[in-house]
Each structure stands twice: as structure tokens, then as C-alpha cells.
Chains A and B, each alone.
Chain A
Amino acid sequence: MAAIETAALTKKFNGFVAVDGINLKIKKGELFALLGPNGAGKTTTISMLSTLLKPTSGKALVNGHDVVKEAAKVRQSIGIVFQDPSLDDQLTAMENLDIHGRLYHMAGNERRKRIREVLEMVDLADRADSIVKTFSGGMRRRLEIARGLMHSPEVLFLDEPTLGLDPQTRRHIWDYIKKLNREGVTVLLTTHYMEEADALADRVVIIDRGRIVAEGTPSSLKDSIGGDVIKISCSKPEELKKAMEKCECDITSEPRITEEGLVINVKKAEEVIPKIFDISAKNSIEVKSITYKEPSLEDVFLHYTGRAYREEEGSEKDRLKMRMRVMRGRR
């Protein structure tokens, strides 16, 4: 049985189609990312899967339960970390978790045991009795993740888990996510950060304007648009070009000579670069510099949508959200 399965899942708001017939199949234990620009329909998808919104049409099963007909069962079996903070900042970390445990019908001793476990997992055990108001943004996120895990859900939803956090804190959060996934929790995370999906996910679905445009592992997605790009600046580019054409390496398209030097598309740059050195040494060609670039998920997005990634569109809203978070931290 899949952890999450959807069939033609669709959500319309007054005629605007936010999610347009999405089919997903997420296996148990997978770390799965929904990647897309802001407004692509990620949060709407998560809201439907977590029973906060009713689908307009289509079907979704979470842990085998229908999100419409068996909402209570779905809720009991999932944990969710919302995009916007949802802790009670007048309560202590412990109290937030305790109330959560009660809402998920956990017995008293089970609650106490689990509070210790989840707080230790996110390194907040020493702050159990501090009021959340005094927590930094990163600590709040960690506490929210701990709370999402409190009732040992089979699936954890993370909606933009590192939005507005500094790079160092972001890495820490990534470590926690990887850790809990290793412990067997299925994770569905949404992000509009390419590098986040790349660093974390087993499998990625790229969505744009409510539709799935690509699906696969991060590396298979990148491979699908044709390998790495190597640029060589050298004394005799013509000669090197001829030599390279004869060599037995996975060149994916014909080498070109540009102003920057010789450009070669290959499957795996790290295997080809040593050969370039050998060949140029044999032909006494002087290599001045070699650079290579892996295609990023950004290139994948560009490839499948024909548009550059619309990071800009969301940035205004994100800045506002970030500012609000900072203000809340001060309150």
C-alpha cells in the first residue's frame, strides 16, 4: 500500500484552478518533494491531503484512508508542519507538545515519554520549560517539527520547512528531516528552493500552475536533460576538438568552439576531465583552465516549462512573511 496516492486530484477556487488533476504515488518510507514556484499549488495539495481543504474533484488516499470520507483516520495518522508558524507562543515547548498529545488522544505516560524523545531529537530538551516567545525562528521550526512527530505519524507533511531561515539553520533542519526519514517516517515536503529538493528528496515532482511537469529522482531529472557542460580554455582548441571527437567518452552532443573556448556536453564530467588532460598532454596542447557545471533542477524546470524559474514572483510575499516572523519573535 502506498503512503499517499492521488488520482486526478483537483481544486478550484471560484473558477481558478489551483491544482489541476494531480496523480501522485508516494511509497512508504520515501522522502518526497513537491517542487515548484510560489503559487504552483503545493500548499493547496498539502491542504487537501491533510483534510484542511476538500478536493473539488478527484481522489486522495493517505495511509489507505480517503481524505474526504475518513478524514479523522487520516488526521490521526499524519503529522504536519505548516508554512506559517502555528505554535502557541505563550505556552512553553513542553505545554505545546502536551496539548498536542492530548488532541491526538495519547495517554499521560505515553505523552511524557514521547515529549522527551521528540525534544531530544530536535535538540531542545534543555528548553522544554521555556516559553516559546523566547525562541528564535530556527528553534520554533524545530519545535514544530517535533510537534508534528509527537504522535508518531506514519506520514509527515512539511510545507516549506526552511522558508525564511538562515543558511546554517536550514542545514540543521535538513539534518533533522533526513534523520527522521531514516527512522522510517514517510516525508512529503514542499519547497520552492531547488537546492532543498536536491539535497533531501529521494524523488521529486516538479509542479507548475497546478500540473505535474516532471517526476523522478533529482539525478534522473538532471540526466534527462543531458549531462554536464565542460568549458576548456586552451592553446589549440581546434586540435583538441578533433582529438576529443575521437576519444571514447560519453559526449552527448558535438563539441563547439566558442569565445570562451571549447564547450563539450558529456554525461559525467568527472570521468571525462582526466581524459582531457591526457589527450592534451599527448598532443602538447596547453590547457589554461577547465570549468564544468552540473545541470541544476533549475535547468530541469526551464527545460520542462520553457520558462525561467519564477523565484521572483514569490519573493515579495516571502519577505513579508519573514518580516512577520521576525516581528513575532520580538513580541
Chain B
Amino acid sequence: MIGDIYAIYLREMIRLKRSKVRLITTIVMPLLWLGIIGNAFNSAFQSSMKIDFISFLTPGIMVMTMAFTGTISGITTVFDREFGFLKEMLVAPVKRESVLIGKMLGGVTQSIFQGVVILILGLLMGMKLVNSPITAISGMLLTMFLVSMAFVSLGLAVASKMSSMEGFQMVMNFLIQPMVFLSGAFYPVKSLPSWLKWGVKVNPLTYGVDAMRYFSLGMNEFSIWLDLSVLVAFSFILIAIGSYAFRKS
């Protein structure tokens, strides 16, 4: 069982290592956000809040990137189906669950890896951690794991309903983008108009961003227990849907 999961995981890691273009593009976009938007808003933001915008924005960009990367890596199962490798796995003396877990862990690794890269970029650009590094990093890793699991599963669920890569852009534009925009990744949610606040509150990603800020910056809108409970529940529901959809397909 562990060996089977590892075999699937190993393949995902080799593919990740090979796809340098994908790695670079997923790092370039956050870099633009942090480098340009982050610096452009820095002075204006700092005068109204007690914190600089780079520090504020970095956890948000981390969550945004993980949401995108997680979903994309979940969706790569469509590639496996289109290009036949899924059959190779399904005809092997390996349980469906092992294939599923191996693929999920592969996606989660990739997603966390990118989150960490952005954290390092943010720190290089002047992000200040308030909590001790150990608390900050372990708390952030936990949050990153939950967020990644949720979005990899979301990708799996979407992928099993998708017959081609054409639906991919639609999922990104109509599902993931709005979630990111409504998550408070780019702005404080305190002073929003009430209709917008409602959208933010029902969005599970909001709690991911909030937890990340709690662990790194010590600032939070909601209680950390609420954040973590929402994230755990959200992940579990999506893992259930994702694995059901994967087994069905």
C-alpha cells in the first residue's frame, strides 16, 4: 500500500521536476503581485493600517497561488485519462485508493512548495514575521496543507466531470478567481460594504488567508479556531467529493 502510493507520488515528483516552465510561470505571477502591486500600495496602505502592505499581501498571495496550483494539479488527472497513463495504473495490482492518495500527495507537495517559495520571496522583499519563526512556520505549514488538500480535491472532483481541457479555463475564471478575489487576500475585510462582506464570509478561502495572517503576522479577523475548523471541514468535504468522483470515473 505505502509502496504503491509512493510509486504514484514518485511519478508526480518526476513530472514536477521536468515541468520547469510550469514552475516558472506559477512563480512569475506572484512575483509581479508582490513586486509591483505590493510596492505600489505600500506607502498608502501603511499610513492607514499599522502594517506594511508586503507583509499583509504575502500570506494572501501564498493562498492564491496554492488555490491555483492545487486545482491545476488535481485537474492533471484529465491528462492521465486523455493520454492513457491512468489505464496503466488501473490495470496494475494496486488499489484505487493508493492511486488517489499518491496523486493527492503529489499535488499537495507541489502546492506547498510553491507557497514556501512565495514566503521566501516575501521575506526577501521585506515581509516581517511577528510570531517566532517556529510558530509561524509550523502554523503556516498546517494551513498550507489544509488549503492545498482542499483545492487538489476540488481539482480532482472537477477533473472527473471534465472530458477535455477546455473546461479548465472556465473553472479557473468562474470558480477559483472569484474565490481568490473574495478571500481578503488583497485587502482587509474589516471595512467592506455589507453585501461584499457577506460574500467574503461564506468563502472558505477567507479563513485560509486569515489563518495564514494569524500565524505569520499575529493579525486576524476571525478566531483561529474558527479558521481552522472551517478549513478542516472544507478539506474533508472536498476530499470526500474528490475521491468519490475519482473512483466513479
A residues sitting closer than 8 Å to B (CB atoms) are 50-52, 72-73, 75-76, 80, 82, 84-91, 95, 99-100, 102-105, 131, 147, 328
Min Cβ gap A132→B in Å is: 11
Residues of A near B18 (CB, < 8 A) are: 90-91, 131
Partner of B87, one of A82, A90, A102: A82
CB-based contact B7/A102 at 8 Å: yes
Could you list 12 examples of A-B contacts with CB < 8 Å?
A: A52-B91, A75-B92, A86-B83, A86-B85, A87-B84, A91-B15, A99-B10, A100-B92, A103-B8, A103-B89, A105-B3, A105-B4
Given contacts A102-B10, A103-B7, contact A86 B92 (CB under 8 A): no
Partner of B11, one of A52, A73, A99: A99
Report how far A239 CA is from B90 CA in the complex, Å: 69
Report how far A286 CA is from B137 CA in the complex, Å: 100
- Residue of A73, A82, A86, A104 with highest tally of chain B CB at under 10 A: A86
Min Cβ gap B79→A in Å is: 10
Report how far A214 CA is from B103 CA in the complex, Å: 45
Report how far A85 CA is from B87 CA in the complex, Å: 10
Report how far A81 CA is from B52 CA in the complex, Å: 59
- Residue of B8, B84, B93, B94 with highest tally of chain A CB at under 10 A: B93
Partner of A103, one of B4, B15, B19: B4
CB-based contact A91/B14 at 8 Å: yes
Report how far A75 CA is from B15 CA in the complex, Å: 26
CB-based contact B10/A105 at 8 Å: no
Residues of B near A89 (CB, < 8 A) are: 83
CB-based contact B93/A100 at 8 Å: no
How many interface residues does B have (CB within 8 Å)? Answer: 22
Min Cβ gap A191→B in Å is: 19
Q: Taking the complex as formed, is B166 at the interface, i.e. its CB lies under 8 A from any CB of chain A?
A: no
Given contacts A102-B3, A102-B6, A328-B83, contact A88 B90 (CB under 8 A): no
Report how far A291 CA is from B83 CA in the complex, Å: 48
- Give 1 or 0 for each of B1-40: 1 = CB within 8 Å of chain A CB: 0011011101100110011000000000000000000000
Report how far A41 CA is from B88 CA in the complex, Å: 21
Report how far A84 CA is from B92 CA in the complex, Å: 17
Residues of A near B84 (CB, < 8 A) are: 82, 84-87
- Residue of A80, A90, A95 with highest tally of chain B CB at under 10 A: A90
Residues of B near A328 (CB, < 8 A) are: 83
- Give 1 or 0 for each of B97-134: 1 = CB within 8 Å of chain A CB: 00000000000000000000000000000000000000
